[in-house]
C-alpha cells in the first residue's frame, strides 16, 4: 500500500530557505547553469550552512518521535537533482535525518507538486513561487535569504502569528473596509457578529498547528497568536469564527490600527503571516534579537528590509536600524 502523509503537518521548503546557497545562487544568476552545476558537484560533500528557515524547521521536526512522525518536511526546489543530493547530505550532516523526501525541477515551477504532497505550508526564497502557491490556495511565505537569522530565544517553542482578514479569514470584511471605510466595516461586523467568517488561505495551516498542539511532546510546544487591526466590537466575529472552527489561539491582539512592530517584538514569532508584508514586518520585529552581528551586516540587512518595504508598500516609523535596538 502507498505511504500516506495525511495525518502529518506537511511543510514544503526550498533548498535556499533551509540552507545558505546564496553564493551558489549568485553564480547561477550571473554566469551560466553549467558553472553552477560544476560548483555544486565540487561541494557535494561540503555541508551547506543553515539558512534563514533552518531553526524553524529544526524545532518543527522535534515534534517527531521514534514511534510517530507528526511533521514531514519535504524539499521542493527549482534546483537540479545533483544540487538536491547536496541538500539531502547537508540535512543529514546537520542532524535533520527525517528529511527524506524531495522534488527538484531544474528551473521549472515547482509549486504544482504542493497538491500531491498535501502541503499545509510552503516556504520559498522565490517570491514568484510563493505568489503562485497562494493563488493555488496553499499557505506560503517568502523567506528573504538576506534577512537576519531567526532568534534562538525560544528554542523549545514554535511561535507563529497570523493576521485575521485575508489571512485566516477571507477578505470579505476587508473589502467592506476598503470600499466604505471604518464606520461601515464596524457596522457590517456588528450585524454579522454571530456569522462565522469564510475561511482564508491560512486557515488549514492554523488547523494543522492546532491538531499538533493537542499532542504532548516533552520539552516542545507550539504557541499561536492572532494579531489583527480589528478592535471591539469587531473582535467578536473573529473570536466567534475561531470557536466555530473549534480552534484555539494562545494569544489574540486586537490593535485597532496600532502599529504591530512593538507587539511582534514582544511575541517574537518564528513566522508571521500578514499577506505579502509578512517578511518585512517579521524582519523589523526581530532585528534587535540577533547577537554577534557587525554594524556592517546590520546596515546590509536594514537596506534589504527597506527595499522589501518599498516593494510591498509597507510603512514603518523607524528610519535607521539603531532605532530598533533595545536598551
Q: Which residues are catalytic?
A: 163
Q: State the virtual CA torsion across 254, 258, 262, 267 in degrees, nearest 10.
A: 10
- What region does 78 belong to: left with phi over 0, alpha with psi -120 to 50, or beta? alpha
Q: CA triplet 30, 31, 35: central angle to 5 degrees?
A: 135
Can you name the residues that pair with 221 across neighbouring β-strands? 157
Question: Regarding beta strands 101-104 and 9-13, do their DSSP bridges make them parallel or antiparallel, or are they unpaired?
Answer: unpaired
Whether 37 contacts 99, CB under 8 Å: no
Tell me how long the chain is: 327
The grid cell for 88 is 539531502
The grid cell for 220 is 516542545
Cα 7 to the center of its chain, rounded Å: 21
Can you name the residues that pair with 161 across neighbouring β-strands? 225, 272
Candidates 85, 101, 82, 104; CA nearest to 93 is 85
Instruction: Give 308: exposed, middle or buried? Use CB within 10 Å, 0-12, 13-18, 19+.
Output: buried
Neighbours of 261 (CB within 10 A): 16
- What region does 44 belong to: left with phi over 0, alpha with psi -120 to 50, or beta? alpha
The grid cell for 245 is 472552527
Positive or negative torsion for Cα 226, 230, 236, 237: negative
Amino acid at each position: 500500500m502507498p505511504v500516506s502523509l495525511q495525518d502529518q503537518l506537511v511543510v514544503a521548503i526550498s533548498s535556499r530557505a533551509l540552507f545558505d546557497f546564496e553564493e551558489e545562487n549568485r553564480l547561477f544568476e550571473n554566469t551560466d547553469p553549467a558553472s553552477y552545476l560544476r560548483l555544486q558537484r565540487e561541494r557535494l560533500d561540503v555541508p551547506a550552512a543553515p539558512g534563514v528557515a533552518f531553526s524553524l524547521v529544526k524545532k518543527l521536526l522535534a515534534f517527531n518521535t521514534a514511534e510517530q512522525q507528526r511533521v514531514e518536511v519535504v524539499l521542493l526546489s527549482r534546483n537540479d537533482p545533483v544540487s538536491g543530493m547536496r541538500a539531502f547530505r547537508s540535512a543529514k550532516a546537520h542532524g535533520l535525518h527525517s528529511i527524506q523526501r524531495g522534488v527538484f525541477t531544474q528551473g521549472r515551477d515547482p509549486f504544482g507538486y504542493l497538491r500531491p504532497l498535501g502541503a499545509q505550508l510552503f516556504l520559498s526564497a522565490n517570491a514568484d513561487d510563493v505568489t503562485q502557491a497562494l493563488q493555488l490556495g496553499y499557505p506560503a511565505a517568502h523567506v528573504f535569504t538576506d534577512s537576519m537569522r531567526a532568534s534562538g530565544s525560544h528554542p523549545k517553542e514554535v511561535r507563529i502569528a497570523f493576521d485575521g482578514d485575508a489571512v485566516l479569514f477571507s477578505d470579505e470584511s476587508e473589502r467592506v473596509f476598503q470600499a466604505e471605510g471604518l464606520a461601515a466595516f464596524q457596522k457590517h461586523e456588528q450585524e454579522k457578529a454571530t456569522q462565522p467568517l469564510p475561511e482564508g488561505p491560512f486557515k488549514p495551516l492554523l488547523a494543522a498547528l492546532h491538531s499538533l498542539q493537542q499532542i504532548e511532546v516533552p520539552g516542545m510546544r507550539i504557541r499561536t497568536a492572532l494579531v489583527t487591526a480589528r478592535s471591539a466590537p469587531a473582535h467578536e466575529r473573529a473570536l466567534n469564527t475561531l470557536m466555530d472552527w473549534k480552534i484555539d489561539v494562545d494569544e489574540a491582539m486586537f490593535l485597532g490600527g496600532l502599529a504591530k512592530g512593538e507587539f511582534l517584538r514582544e511575541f517574537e514569532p518564528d513566522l508571521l503571516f500578514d499577506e505579502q508584508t509578512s517578511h518585512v514586518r517579521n524582519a523589523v520585529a526581530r532585528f534587535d534579537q540577533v547577537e554577534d552581528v557587525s554594524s556592517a551586516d546590520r546596515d546590509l540587512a536594514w537596506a534589504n528590509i527597506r527595499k522589501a518595504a518599498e516593494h510591498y508598500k509597507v510603512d514603518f516609523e523607524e528610519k535607521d536600524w539603531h532605532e530598533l535596538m533595545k536598551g
